[in-house]
Amino acid sequence: MTLHRTALAAAALALALPLAQAQTGKLKVGLMLPYTGTFAALGNAIENGFRLHVAEQGGKLGGREIEIVKVDDESDPAKATDNINKLIKRDSVDVVVGTVHSGVAMAMAKVAKDTGTMLIVPNAGADAITGPMCAPNIFRSSFSNWQPGYAAGEVVAKKGHKNVVTITWKYAAGDESVKGFKEAFEKGGGKVTKELSLPFPNVEFQALLTEIAAAKPDAVYTFFAGGGAVKFVKDYAAAGLKGKIPLYGAGFLTDGTLEAQGADADGLLTTLHYADGLDTPRDKTFRLAYAKTYKLQPDVYAMQGYDAAQMLGIGLAAAKGDITKKAEFGAALRKAKIDSPRGAFTISASHNPVQDLYLRQVVGKENKVIGIASKALPDPGRGCRM
């Protein structure tokens, strides 16, 4: 009997050992980001930011060495399900970090929810991800599309503009950014009189700019990003609209793009959860380290990638390196104050950052902070049941 018990105990120990060891082995992170197309620069900045935080932690998060596998999602929603399944099934990643494009991210969120794989979204603002698709294993280090849009709507209403035309790409991010803008702008007494759009990632803006010139609104609100934002700002100026009809945007319009936009971006007012000239010790340290490592200035995308790694570190430490402990991982993040270069932020019940939305103005090559458009703005998390 005693012998039998001892044998059982030994067998149980043998079974338990490999599990205990797995939690100190390498943690495989799948980076699913755009490395080609109009958002290529954004994907690279996110990866740089992510790697910077991991390097600052000596290559480990939550006691586990980080190994990265990458896939280029091409910002193509049609390939999204296959791409994330490759990471989960073929590469056996423990966690997925991605992506930039809202349509791709929604397909990823569906797979993450179905498989229970931990997902941290380091950019894509699709409202649904922290709304109807919210889940205990899905977190966002960036923003919801509603947030910068809503903050811009408040700013433009306060400026006294009454009649605004919007222009964007016809997909979740553009639609939802405009929707957030419209909600605040119309609450503030304005009216969106025309909503213009073109398919993602088209950049043939000419006909739409002609329509804006003919409509003569008080102002224009826009969501564009990456390569498309560079071209839109240049085309707006070339069409003779700059200086005539004030242009406002979600801050992606001028983030990571100023080098290429040059003087055509000068003076533009945008809202975003990051800015140049924040002048805090935390941001200065981050910027210095980033510039030293990559010989580049960081932008909002780099910061979001950095914070995705910070969030992974916080959750993983609470779970003692075992990412399958979702309750511990999530509880730690929901009560954390994340020490971000943007300023400290918290995570809402639906897992989206509660953060300040800055008002910025382009001065030379910088998105200078000129105020806080919306203090500690939570996404409403509409439709999230967790």
Q: Could you give the string, one character per residue 136-155, with x where binding to ligand PHB holds by CB under 6 A and - elsewhere? A: ---------x----------
- Choose one: 66-74, 99-107, 152-160, 345-353; the region binding ligand PHB (CB under 6 A): 99-107
How many residues sit in the footprint of ligand PHB (CB under 6 A)? 12
Site for ligand PHB contains 252 (CB under 6 A):
yes
Identity at 310, one-letter amino acid code: Q
Which amino acid, 38?
Answer: T
Question: 124 or 212: whose CB is closer to ligand PHB?
Answer: 124
- Quick check: 124 binds ligand PHB (CB under 6 A)? yes
Residues 49, 125, 228, 315: which binds ligand PHB (CB under 6 A)? 125
- Does position 271 bind ligand PHB by CB under 6 A? no
Select 67 or 366, whichever has its Cβ closest to ligand PHB. Answer: 366
The interface with ligand PHB within residues 17-76 (CB under 6 A) comprises: 39
Distance CA 341, CA 152 (A): 22
The DSSP letter of residue 240 is: T
Task: Provide, rounded to whole angstroms, the least separation between the CB of residue 25 and ligand PHB.
Answer: 34
State the DSSP H helix or E strand holding residue 72, giving kind and residue range, or none if neither: strand 64-72
Applying the rule CB under 6 A, the residues between 164 and 223 that interact with ligand PHB are: 173
107 part of the interface to ligand PHB, by CB under 6 A: no
357 binds ligand PHB (CB under 6 A): no
For residue 225, state whether it binds ligand PHB (rule: CB under 6 A): yes
Neighbours of 202 (CB within 10 A): 12
Q: What are phi and psi of 155, to 5 degrees?
A: -65, -50
Tokens read off for 357: 């939305």
Nearer to ligand PHB, 111 or 323 (CB): 111
Decide: residue 221, CB within 10 A, 0-12 exposed, 13-18 middle, 19+ buried: buried
How far is residue 145 from each of residues 23, 118, 125, 206, 319, measured CA to CA in Å?
36, 22, 4, 26, 30
The answer to whether residue 100 forms part of the interface with ligand PHB (CB under 6 A) is yes
Asked if 338 and 345 count as a contact pair (C-beta separation under 8 A), the reply is yes
- Vertex 350, ends 99 and 177: CA angle to 5°? 55
Q: Which residue's CB is nearer to ligand PHB, number 108 or number 156? A: 108
Instruction: State which residue, 27 or 265, has the beta carbon closest to ligand PHB.
Output: 265
Scanning 48-56, 122-130, 234-242, 264-272 for contacts with ligand PHB by CB under 6 A, the matching segment is: 122-130
Kindly state the smallest distance separating residue 253's Cβ from ligand PHB, in Å: 9
Report d(CA 308, CA 302) in Å as an integer: 10
Give whichever of 100 and 212 is closer to ligand PHB, judged by the CB atom. Answer: 100
In order of 57, 96, 128, 227, 233, the CA distances from 260 in angstroms are: 34, 31, 32, 9, 10
Q: Tell me the angle at which helices 40-56 and 281-294 cross, rounded to the nearest 10 degrees.
A: 110
Q: Does 274 bind ligand PHB (CB under 6 A)?
A: no
Residue 101 binds to ligand PHB (criterion: CB under 6 A): yes
Query: What is the distance in angstroms between the CA of the first residue and the CA of the last residue of the chain?
Result: 48
The reply on whether position 102 binds ligand PHB by CB under 6 A is: yes
Q: Of the candidates 378, 376, 364, 310, which has an alpha carbon nearest to the alpha carbon of residue 341?
A: 310
Nearer to ligand PHB by C-beta: 27 or 275?
Answer: 275
Which structure tokens are listed for 159? 């400026």
Distance separating alpha carbons of residues 122 and 43, to the nearest angstrom: 10
CB 121, min distance to ligand PHB, A: 9
Contact window for ligand PHB (CB under 6 A) among 82-90, 96-104, 238-246, 307-315: 96-104
169: exposed, middle or buried (C-beta count within 10 Å: 0-12, 13-18, 19+)?
A: buried
The site for ligand PHB (CB under 6 A) is made up of 39, 100-102, 123-126, 145, 173, 225, 252
